[in-house]
């Protein structure tokens, strides 16, 4: 019999065209650098906030003269309805919004990552149990679960982060489990096992490093989701305490200026900060995912 | 097939139990004496009444069974106010239809936007049309629904005055005004969803268009639109349907915020007001109702999925 | 090249066009090249053949020989965006299909020329009832009502030998066996009474026992309808007993073509010879070694210079790697054409070149 190759040349060009047609996020291009640039800027400003030559976030400027003021040279984003300097609010808000995003995903990543590794590596009953728990956590719409927790627990940075961490746990656990499953079946894991390595050592040394890219790409997206959720909670009065500057609180208290048409820039500043941050995080998440060829399926 | 549904029904019941139990537990997360927190300004008599209503003095499990028994009979507790307070059920029964309308409009709008664009992007994969649509979808995904809502309120509501910026008009009152009052909220919710659906449909459709049966249909001389709509759309829409089901959760979460922004008298606004008035019993009831509703929706989607794919239907 | 049966069939053919008396299909110097990131793939490179109404042409070749692309090119089903400078003519009843746009081609596809594919599992839509898949073509080409199309679909299912077609019409492909699915595909392809059927490996995905049934069914339907068939296969045996003429393709070109019997009897091209010898023969003594063709088919982006088969050819001489042989008729039969400098039956390349070189001295 002549050798019968599975694919004929007829299909090849079309498939290639499809791949070529996908947005070229496989390379670390201009878009990725812009995203990194924005995140570095925001994180840098947030970290350096106390050192920056800007008014304190709760410093009433000129006895209320800055109330709803339009952006100007001396006050880059103008003032808000409390006559606070809006740029300062955004920078200090970044501190809190990003902190919530980071802590929540750190919680979700640790707990979810642990559960996912255990479930994916050991399989069997423990996997069934963990999967069931995750399914239950996903049985609530995420924001409803978060608002229920903050409403009944409290509105401190810790509780808000905890609530949002809990909702990001199943997402991170699922992707970790899926990737652990595939990596655990690779030859080098079998080889390590054959050499008598302990399971814990195999998980930490052999499996985890390979699962990290997948977790990282989803974690970036999860930070974005959490930042948006924080703002959503604020709008419902279930987020950080009202006097704490956060992007969500800026939007919440800028709403009156928007609906009366007098000071839409307050809402737009907060929204812009969220939009560009989320866009950057999503973009980088995609870049990481494309780079490491992460299988999707866990995040929707 | 029957056994499959039976198994799913058992799962459904189990998840509903857990969801209600969690909702029930919320009240015990409150710091200190729940009765004191729920009615901070109330009299001792009111607190005693509350303890009796909720059964706070009983063991946890019997509290739960009591609460669940009332919940399934539609007794969701009541508002605690200085002078009386209406049952939560009354508010919810008025609010639920509004929320359901919003969800259905948003979902329909998202699909109406996503399906044609997804088909177009897949059919024109790799061209500038596809790149334009995909980039647009990617950007839409980064716009939170409430941000979109606020931007639309400002430009289309405040500036151009095309739409009312808040309030709800009953359909029976004036259908046009009803849709006008619902358009911005529904669209705000729909855009990001549409982006998700479009991307999903695009990639599934591209895969489907590589299939031999599409080539077969083309070789039979069928018109392109007929191939796309009748031959390619259905096999490409399974993950779309699944995700549409899963994303009802996102929509519900979004709808709560959107209702609060547009003051649409739905469950979201009810929750929002209950949170700001510290009506914990009402918040608890809303959480339980939303949780159960979501679980049931997912169950139905699961069944629909089975109905849509004959291979699954005949498997069991 | 025509026999009496075909001539009789033509007389009986109710839809045959009387005003055209050339060959049904006349492919002239067809080239189909694709642009790919690796370069231009010369999938079909200057192929010509003719096919008379009611007759069968077998096209044989390995995967990657271009036979599938050739079959799809006839109906304009190749991915258009990647096509580079398509050349040649595809004259169907004298009309050239090559310059036609999608709209014009649609009138031809299914109605005049149909195709059936290798794997009925993948070529039938898994989420459509088989009846509806047959009805689609009828409704598009004949503007039939739903009820009429359904009746016709049941009728067709019966014709292709599916038991209780009235029930099967409402079933999905996964409810049918592999052979039944292939019958359904044939029913779809023949629904609009095409004059030409292109069958691309119609039995490769089927069990051996079912293969013969399907081929017999195709043969029966072909003679009933006086339909011409292009039968494509990698398996000379499948094509052998069914085709009137056989064309052997290699690396995008026809390397040998002629009446089936002639081709088997007086094989000239070493590639055809190798294909024949790679097929087990019932009359061979047990444990006869089958001849596998060494090497792989050439890369169609940069085919080898000279004869494209020369790197794998046991008979190749020096000339074969330099100059491509023309497709020339055999001395004994003008209908038997092949592309070879040192054909089977004569001296091999090295022998011939040595003989030629002996009088003079070859300098290396």
Closest-CA residue of chain A to C271: A2
CA-wise closest residue to B251 among A212, A300, C221: A300
- B55-69, B228-242, C271-285: least confidently modelled range: C271-285
Q: Which two tokens stand for residue B264?
A: 């649409």
Instruction: Report pLDDT for A266.
Output: 85
Please compute, for residue A198, the number of CA atoms within 13 A of its CA located in the half-sphere on the CB side.
3
Contact predicate C53/C16, CB 8 Å = yes
- Answer whether B275 sits within 8 Å of A147, measured CB to CB: yes
Q: How many domains does chain A have?
A: 1
pLDDT tens per residue across span C301-312? 888 999 999 998
pTM score, two decimals? 0.82
Optimal mutation site among C82, C233, C280, C289, interface A, most CBs of chain A within 10 A: C82
pLDDT tens digits along A129-185: 998 888 888 888 888 999 999 989 888 999 999 999 999 999 899 889 988 888 888
Q: What is the mean pLDDT of chain A?
A: 81
| Higher-scoring residue by pLDDT: A23, B77 | B77
Domain count across chain B: 1
Cβ–Cβ below 8 Å for B314 and C172 = yes
Reported as a pLDDT band with limits 50, 70 and 90, residue B49 is confident
**DSSP state letter for C86:** E
Per the domain annotation, does A173 fall within a domain? yes
Q: Report if residue B188 sits inside a domain.
A: yes
Q: What is the tens place of the pLDDT at every residue in C97-149?
A: 999 988 999 999 999 999 999 888 889 998 899 999 999 999 999 999 999 99
Residue pLDDT, tens place only, B12-41:
999 999 999 999 988 888 887 777 777 777
A neighbour chains, 3+ CB pairs within 8 Å: B, C
Nearest to A2 among C35, C66, C293 (CB): C293
Residue C132: which H helix or E strand, with range?
Answer: helix C130-142
Judging contacts by C-beta atoms under 8 Å, the chain C residues touching residue B218 are 77, 109
Residue in the structure block whose two tokens are 């547009």: B262
Residues of chain A contacting residue B166, judged by C-beta atoms under 8 Å apart: 259
Distance CA(A7)–CA(B68), nearest Å, equals 60
Residue B40 confidence (pLDDT):
74
- Closest residue in B to C78 (Cα) is B215
Joined together, the tokens standing for residue A96 give 């809190």
Contact B212 C117 (CB under 8 A): yes
Specify if A19 maps to a domain. Answer: no
Judge: A17–C43 Cβ closer than 8 Å, yes or no. Answer: no
Task: Identify the CATH number of the domain in which residue B228 sits.
Answer: 1.10.3720.10
**Other CB atoms within 10 A of residue C152 CB:** 19
> What gap in Å lies between CA B249 and CA C188, rounded to an integer?
44
Helix axes A157-184, A142-153, angle to 10 degrees: 140
Nearest residue of A to residue B283, measured between CA atoms: A148
Cβ within 8 Å, pair B144-A237: no
Q: Confirm whether B84 is domain-assigned.
A: no
**Contact, B253 vs A143, CB < 8 A?**
yes
Q: Inter-chain contact B257–A141, Cβ cutoff 8 Å?
A: no
Tell me if chain A has a CB within 8 Å of the CB of C122.
no
pLDDT at B3: 78
The enclosing domain of A177 has a CATH number of: 1.10.3720.10
End-to-end CA, chain A? 47
pLDDT digits (tens, 9 = 90+) for C8-35: 344 444 444 456 778 999 999 999 998 8
Q: Which whole number is the average pLDDT over C50-71?
A: 90
**Cβ distance of B287 and A11 shorter than 8 Å:** no
**C297 confidence band (pLDDT: 50, 70, 90):** confident
> How far apart, in whole angstroms, are the C-alpha atoms of residue B198 and residue B116?
8
Quick one: average pLDDT of B230-252? 85
Residues 52-81 of C with CB under 8 A from A: 62-64, 66, 68-69, 72, 78-79, 81
Q: For residue C289, what pLDDT is reported?
A: 56
C82 and A14: CB-CB below 8 Å?
yes
Residue A18 lies in a domain: no
In a domain, B50, yes or no: no
Amino acid A73: pLDDT? 65
Q: Between chains, do C106 and B234 touch, taking CB under 8 Å as contact?
A: no
In a domain, A219, yes or no: yes
Residue C35, both tokens? 């642009």
- Say what the pLDDT of residue C283 is: 64
Contact B142 A21 (CB under 8 A): no
| Partners of residue B213 in chain C, C-beta under 8 Å | 122-126
Q: pLDDT confidence of A69, banded at 50, 70, 90?
A: low
- Residue A255 included in any domain: yes
Residue C360 has a pLDDT of 54
Mean pLDDT, residues A34-53: 89
DSSP calls for C171-230: S-GGGS-HHHHHHHHHHHHHTT--SEEEEESTTTTS-HHHHHHHHHHHHHHHHHHT-EEE
- CA pseudo-torsion sign A21, C78, C182, C276: negative
Touching subunits of C (3+ CB pairs, under 8 Å) are: A, B
pLDDT at C168 over 90: yes
Let me know if residue A56 belongs to a domain.
yes
Residue B291 domain flag:
yes
State whether C185 and B310 contact (CB < 8 Å).
no
**Angle between helices A142-153 and B248-262 in degrees, nearest 10:** 60
Concatenated DSSP letters for A154-167? --SHHHHHHHHHHH
Give the pLDDT confidence of B181-223 residue by residue, as tens digits: 899 999 999 999 999 999 999 999 999 998 999 999 999 999 9
Q: For residue A300, what pLDDT is reported?
A: 32
Size of interface A-B (CB pairs under 8 A): 154
* Mean local confidence (pLDDT), C172-178: 90
Confidence of residue B85 (pLDDT cuts 50, 70, 90): confident
Check residue A64 and give its pLDDT.
61
CA dihedral sign of residues B210, B215, B216, B220: positive
Residue A23 lies inside a defined structural domain of this protein = no
Given this model, what pLDDT does residue A11 score? Answer: 31
Residue for token pair 């399974």: B238
In which band, very low, low, confident or very high, does the pLDDT at B109 lie, cut at 50, 70 and 90?
A: very high
- Of B170-174, B287-291, C13-17, the range with the highest mean pLDDT is B287-291
| Distance of alpha carbon C240 from alpha carbon C249, whole angstroms | 15
pLDDT band at A293 (very low <50, low <70, confident <90, very high): low
**Do the domain assignments include residue B3?**
no
Q: Would B21 be classed as within a structural domain?
A: no
**Angle CA A273–A274–A277, to nearest 5:** 85
Highest mean pLDDT among B76-85, B126-135, B306-315: B126-135
- What token pair was written down for C362? 């070859």
Tell me if B24 sits within 8 A of B68, measured CB to CB: yes
Q: How many CB pairs (< 8 A) connect A and C?
A: 60
Domain containing A122 equals 32-299
Q: How far is CA A81 from the centre of its chain?
A: 29
Q: Of A151, A226, A253, A254, which to mutate for an interface test with B (greatest number of B Cβ within 10 Å)?
A: A151
Predicted local distance difference test score (pLDDT) of residue A118? 92
For residues A106 and A89, which has the higher predicted lDDT (pLDDT)? A106
Report which of residues C290 and B92 the model is more confident about: B92
- pLDDT value at position C291? 59
Q: Look at the alpha carbons of B150, B156, B160, B162 in this order and tell me if their dihedral is positive or negative.
A: negative
Answer with the residue of higher pLDDT: A87 or C16.
A87
Q: Is the pLDDT of residue A65 over 80?
A: no
Assess contact for A156 and A95: CB atoms under 8 A.
no
Average pLDDT over residues B289-295: 90
Asked if the structure places residue A230 within a domain, the reply is yes
Q: What is the pLDDT of residue A66?
A: 64
What are the tokens at B194?
């549409």
Distance to chain C for A213, nearest Cα, Å: 29
Q: Are the beta carbons of C105 and B221 separated by less than 8 Å? A: yes
The string of pLDDT tens digits covering residues A5-16 is 223 333 333 333
Number of other residues whose CB lies within 10 A of the CB of residue B261: 27
- Contact list, B221 vs chain C (CB under 8 Å): 105-111, 137, 140-141
Q: Using a CB-CB distance cutoff of 8 angstroms, which residues of chain B are in contact with residue A20?
A: 126
pLDDT tens per residue, range C218-240? 999 999 999 999 999 988 888 88
SS (H, E, C) chain B: CHHHHHHHHHHHHHHHHHHHHHHHHHHHHCCCCHHHHHCCCCCHHHHHHHHHHHCCCCCHHHHHHHHHHHHHCCCCCECCCCCCCCEHHHHHHHHHHHHHHHHHHHHHHHHHHHHHHHHHHHHCCCCHHHHHHHHHHHHHHCCCHHHHHHHHHHHHHHHCCCCCCCCCCCCCCCHHHHHHHHHHHHHHHHHHHHHHHHHHHHHHHHHHHCCHHHHHHHHCCCCHHHHHHHHHHHHHCHHHHHHHHHCHHHHHHHHHHHHHHHCCCCHHHHHHHHHHCCCHHHHHHHHHHHHHHHHHHHHHHHHHHHHHCHHHHHHC
State the pLDDT at residue A95.
92
Lowest mean pLDDT of A282-296, B286-300, C117-131, C335-349, name the range: A282-296
- Assess if residue B238 is contained within a domain: yes
For A199-219, the pLDDT digits (tens) are 888 888 888 888 888 888 889
Out of A17-31, B235-249, C78-92, least confident range? A17-31
- Shortest alpha-carbon distance between residue A64 and chain B (Å): 25
B220: which chain C residues are within 8 Å (Cβ-Cβ)? 109-110, 114, 136-137, 140, 188-189, 191-192
> Is the Cβ pair B249, A138 closer than 8 Å?
yes
Output the pLDDT for position C314: 87
Residue C296 to residue A4, Cβ atoms within 8 A: no
Q: What domain range includes position B241?
A: 97-309
Look at residue A145 and give its three-state secondary structure.
Answer: helix
Using an 8 Å Cβ cutoff, are C139 and C151 in contact?
A: no
pLDDT at A68 over 70: no
| C181-212 per-position pLDDT tens digit | 999 999 999 999 999 999 998 888 788 888 88
Residues in chain C: 364
């Amino acid at each position: 019999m002549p050798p019968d190759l599975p694919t004929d040349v007829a299909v090849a060009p079309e498939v290639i065209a499809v791949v070529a047609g996908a947005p070229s996020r496989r390379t670390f291009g201009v878009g990725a650098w812009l995203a990194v640039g924005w995140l570095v800027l925001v994180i840098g400003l947030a970290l350096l906030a106390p050192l920056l030559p800007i008014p304190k976030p709760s410093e009433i400027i000129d006895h209320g003269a800055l109330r709803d003021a339009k952006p100007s040279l001396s006050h880059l984003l103008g003032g808000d309805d409390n006559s606070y300097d809006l740029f300062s609010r955004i920078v200090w808000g970044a501190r809190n919004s990003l902190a919530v995003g980071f802590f929540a995903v750190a919680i979700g990543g640790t707990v979810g990552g642990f559960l996912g590794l255990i479930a994916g590596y050991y399989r069997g009953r423990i996997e069934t149990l963990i999967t069931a728990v995750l399914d239950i956590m996903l049985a609530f719409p995420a924001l409803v679960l978060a608002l229920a927790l903050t409403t009944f627990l409290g509105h401190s940075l810790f509780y808000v982060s905890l609530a949002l961490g809990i909702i990001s746990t199943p997402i991170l656990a699922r992707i970790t489990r899926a990737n652990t499953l595939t990596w655990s079946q690779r030859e080098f894991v079998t080889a390590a096992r054959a050499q008598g390595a302990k399971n814990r050592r195999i998980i930490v040394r052999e499996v985890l490093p390979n699962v990290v890219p997948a977790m990282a790409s989803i974690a970036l997206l999860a930070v974005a989701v959490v930042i948006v959720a924080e703002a959503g909670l604020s709008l419902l009065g279930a987020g950080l305490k009202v006097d704490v500057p956060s992007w969500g609180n800026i939007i919440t208290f800028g709403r009156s200026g928007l609906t009366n048409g007098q000071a839409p820039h307050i809402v737009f500043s907060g929204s812009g900060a969220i939009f560009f941050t989320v866009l950057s995080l999503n973009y980088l998440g995609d870049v990481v995912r494309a780079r490491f060829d992460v299988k999707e399926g866990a995040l929707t | 097939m029957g056994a499959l549904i039976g198994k799913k029904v058992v799962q459904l019941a189990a998840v509903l139990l857990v969801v209600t139990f969690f909702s029930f537990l919320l009240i015990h997360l409150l710091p200190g004496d729940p009765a004191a927190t729920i009615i901070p300004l109330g009299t001792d008599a009111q607190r005693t009444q509350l303890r009796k209503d909720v059964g706070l003095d009983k063991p946890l499990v019997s509290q739960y069974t009591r609460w669940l028994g009332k919940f399934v009979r539609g007794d969701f507790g009541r508002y605690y106010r200085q002078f009386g307070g209406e049952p939560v059920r009354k508010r919810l029964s008025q609010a639920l239809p509004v929320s359901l309308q919003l969800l259905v409009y948003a979902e329909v709008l998202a699909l109406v936007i996503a399906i044609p664009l997804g088909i177009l992007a897949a059919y024109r994969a790799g061209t500038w049309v596809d790149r334009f649509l995909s980039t647009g979808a990617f950007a839409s995904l980064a716009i939170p629904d409430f941000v979109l809502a606020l931007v639309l309120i400002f430009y289309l509501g405040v500036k151009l005055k095309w739409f009312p910026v808040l309030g709800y008009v009953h359909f029976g009152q004036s259908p046009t005004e009803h849709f006008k009052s619902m358009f911005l909220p529904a669209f705000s919710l729909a855009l990001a969803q549409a982006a998700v659906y479009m991307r999903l449909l695009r990639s599934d459709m591209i895969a489907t268009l590589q299939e031999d049966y599409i080539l077969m249909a083309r070789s039979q001389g069928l018109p392109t639109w007929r191939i796309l709509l009748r031959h390619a759309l259905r096999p490409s829409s399974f993950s779309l349907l699944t995700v549409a089901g899963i994303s009802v959760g996102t929509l519900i979460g979004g709808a709560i915020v959107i209702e609060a922004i547009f003051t649409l008298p739905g469950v979201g606004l009810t929750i929002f007001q209950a949170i700001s008035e510290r009506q914990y019993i009402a918040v608890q009831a809303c959480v339980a109702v939303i949780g159960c509703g979501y679980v049931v929706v997912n169950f139905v989607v699961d069944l629909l999925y089975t109905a849509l794919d004959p291979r699954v239907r005949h498997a069991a | 090249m025509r026999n009496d049966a075909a001539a009789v069939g033509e007389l009986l053919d109710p839809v045959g066009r009387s005003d055209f008396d050339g060959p049904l299909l006349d492919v002239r110097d067809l080239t189909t090249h694709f642009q790919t990131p690796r370069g231009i793939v010369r999938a079909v490179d200057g192929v010509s053949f003719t096919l008379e109404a009611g007759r069968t042409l077998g096209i044989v070749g390995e995967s990657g020989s271009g036979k599938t692309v050739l079959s799809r090119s006839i109906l304009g089903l190749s991915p258009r965006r990647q096509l580079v400078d398509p050349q040649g003519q595809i004259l169907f009843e004298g009309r050239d299909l090559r310059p036609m746009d999608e709209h014009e081609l649609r009138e031809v596809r299914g109605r005049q020329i149909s195709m059936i594919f290798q794997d009925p599992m993948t070529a039938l839509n898994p989420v459509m009832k088989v009846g509806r898949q047959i009805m689609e073509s009828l409704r598009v080409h004949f503007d039939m009502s739903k009820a009429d199309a359904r009746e016709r679909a049941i009728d067709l299912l019966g014709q292709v030998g599916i038991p209780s077609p009235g029930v099967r019409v409402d079933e999905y492909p996964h409810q049918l066996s592999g052979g039944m699915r292939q019958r359904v595909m044939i029913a779809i392809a023949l629904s609009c009474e095409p004059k030409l059927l292109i069958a691309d490996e119609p039995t490769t995905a089927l069990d051996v026992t079912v293969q013969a049934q399907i081929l017999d069914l195709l043969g029966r339907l072909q003679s009933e309808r006086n339909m011409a068939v292009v039968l494509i296969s990698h398996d000379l045996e499948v094509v052998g007993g069914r085709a009137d003429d056989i064309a052997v393709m290699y690396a995008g070109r026809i390397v040998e073509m002629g009446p089936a019997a002639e081709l088997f009897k007086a094989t000239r091209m070493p590639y055809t010879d190798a294909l024949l010898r790679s097929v087990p023969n019932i009359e061979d003594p047990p444990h006869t070694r089958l001849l596998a063709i060494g090497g792989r088919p050439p890369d169609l982006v940069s085919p080898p210079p000279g004869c494209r088969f020369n790197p794998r050819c046991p008979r190749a001489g020096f000339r074969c790697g330099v100059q491509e042989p023309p497709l020339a008729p055999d001395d004994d039969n003008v209908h038997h054409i092949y592309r070879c400098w040192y054909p089977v039956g004569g001296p091999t390349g090295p022998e011939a070149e040595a003989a030629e070189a002996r009088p003079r001295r070859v300098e290396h």
